[in-house]
Amino acid sequence: MVKNKGLTLTDEASEKVGKYFERMYLSRTDTFGNAREVRNAFDRCFERLCTRTAGMSDDEYARSGKILTWEDIVGPEGTKEISVESVMKELDSFVGMETVKKALRDLAEEMRFQQRRMEFGGKAAIRPVNIILTGNPGTGKTSVARVLGKLFKAMGICSTDRVIEKSRKDIVGTYANESDKNMDKAVNEAMGGVLFIDEAYNLAPFDDTGHCSDSEGIKALERLMVRMENDRGKFVVVCAGYKDKMRNLMKANEGFASRFTHRINIDDYTPEELTEIFRRMAEGQGYAFADGSLDKAMKAFRKLSVEKSGKDFGNAREARNMLDSVLGNIGTRVNALPDDQITKDSFFTILPKDIPFEEPKVATEEECLAELDSLIGLESVKNEIRSMLDEMRQRKMDSEISGGQFTAIVPDHYLFLGNPGTGKTTVARLMGKMLYSLGVIARPDVVEVSRADMVAPYLGQTAPKTRETVDRAMGGILFIDEAYSLIQGRGDNYGNESVTELLKLLEDRKGKFVCIAAGYTREMTQFLDSNSGLKSRFTKTITFEDYKPEELMEIFRLYC
């Protein structure tokens, strides 16, 4: 065709055109037109050539008017070179998402190894890539999918960085055989690139027993499985959604699950990360922050993160909502000013009072220390608390904004060991105030509980009861008095269920609350030995010694 038109190719076009048709072949579908596809490609190429040369002079046309360039063949979008390094740099600019960044770096390294192996004569061993992407609302699943399109093109997995986004409404029809046809259409559209299906479990909603009554949805899912098998390596499927619902979908259809090579979960944003997202959003619109504004915003996000959880927590949307509220507050504030006091800064500087958050009234760090010192005796406890505060203060200093990024302070969990009446509960309440004053926890409240609040009398009820108790303490301190009573002997299945659930929550909700387990030294030692996970969760111990005779006398005088 090129020869028949009297055309020639540039050196670059001659070098790359073979790969172009190789990708066309590898991306072919059941409707592939063979020679007709070549004719269509040439027609598009010739049209671009005519457009490019339309404004040339006769001399210019005589010199280069009949030379096809690489851009004529693939179009301007096709000439864009994407490197793995540039894509990873874009991904690194995202706030948080450390698990995603690591997973994609590992994948890039795997592909690089296989490609280098092939260069040295190794047999092709690059397996098709399909990904399950999970996370709560607002964690950036769609943004990650779009980056994946670029990354897969850069790695040679895909021939284009195109990401085709679909959901149930685009695929599942109301008429017979409509759904599998729509799925075919979606797959054909994504050939050579990425098919991104958001909330994939909505295609065929399965209940907890693995049953689905949606016949059209099942047809769509089955058709996708067929295309993933028949067109292996020709396109990438990324299915996204909530972690629990995606897990149910995979359990209900093992054949579907087996076609996915990678599973990546995007964690909820921390309050520190939300503050950074909020800062970027505001500064992107030209706003600056007065002293104290970002600190107050972080406290607001801490409160939000403990008041909401799971699917109720909007993640980056919470930052967007915060900014909308702030801008509304700025408008109200500026409108109340006399005209002669209004400046540009009035409009574009976010003040602490613009942040929609009311701080609980709580003692300052100095007042807390004074209250601690007023306690009779407990010298070793006071020293431990002061040492803890010094450490927290240093960690807070280390976590100040560095390079525009916040770093979270993750508080420890504590063991309070000692006999009755040695001040364990009093010091726990004081710690709530201290940790809040340092900004380590979101609220100063101490929720005081015992076995009765965590262990239920019937099988299967204890874990939910323990979760409800921990939920009440989110953002503050959970104080478990006589914690050893949770397990009353080896045969206490209910108590063991509570401890198992507590350990899981201490890990899953790390940094969102502080747990203090208190009790007699000997019994608490036995309690720790009952489950190997306890010692690794409770990393700090404060021992409350018995009062000395003179200290008891002083306490007696206080009551007189």
Fold that domain 84-266 belongs to in CATH: Rossmann fold (3.40.50)
- The β-bridge partners of 414 are 516, 540
Q: What is the pLDDT of residue 22?
A: 59
- C-alpha distances in Å from residue 54, one per residue of 49, 63, 75, 375: 8, 14, 16, 91
Better-scored residue on pLDDT, 125 or 246: 246
Instruction: Say if 271-354 and 365-549 have the same CATH topology.
Output: no
pLDDT above 90: residue 510: no
Mean pLDDT (the chain) is 83
The pLDDT > 70 percentage for the chain reads 80
pLDDT above 70: residue 31: no
Distance CA 415, CA 447 (A): 16
Q: What is the pLDDT of residue 405?
A: 46
Mean pLDDT, residues 53-66 taken together: 65
What pLDDT band is residue 194 in, cutting at 50, 70 and 90? very high
pLDDT 10s digits, 369-424: 888 888 888 889 888 888 888 887 776 676 555 544 445 567 889 999 999 989 99
Tokens representing residue 409 in the block: 């302070």
Better-scored residue on pLDDT, 196 or 48: 196
pLDDT 10s digits, 80-137: 667 888 888 889 999 988 989 998 888 888 878 877 776 676 665 556 889 999 988 8
Q: What is the pLDDT of residue 406?
A: 47
Q: What is the pLDDT of residue 23?
A: 60
Residues 6+ apart with CB under 8 A from 464: 456
Under CATH, which architecture does the 271-354 domain have?
Orthogonal Bundle (1.10)
- The pTM for the full model equals 0.64
User: If one looks up domain 365-549 in CATH, what number appears?
Assistant: 3.40.50.300
Better-scored residue on pLDDT, 456 or 16: 456
E strand intervals along 105-258? 131-135, 163-166, 194-198, 236-241
Domain boundaries, the chain: 8-78, 84-266, 271-354, 365-549
Degrees (nearest 5) of the Cα angle 376, 382, 385? 145
pLDDT 10s digits, 411-445: 889 999 999 989 999 999 999 988 888 878 888 88
Q: Are 416 and 448 in contact (CB under 8 A)?
A: no
DSSP letters spanning 295-308: HHHHHHHHHHHHHS
CB neighbourhood size of 553 (10 A): 11
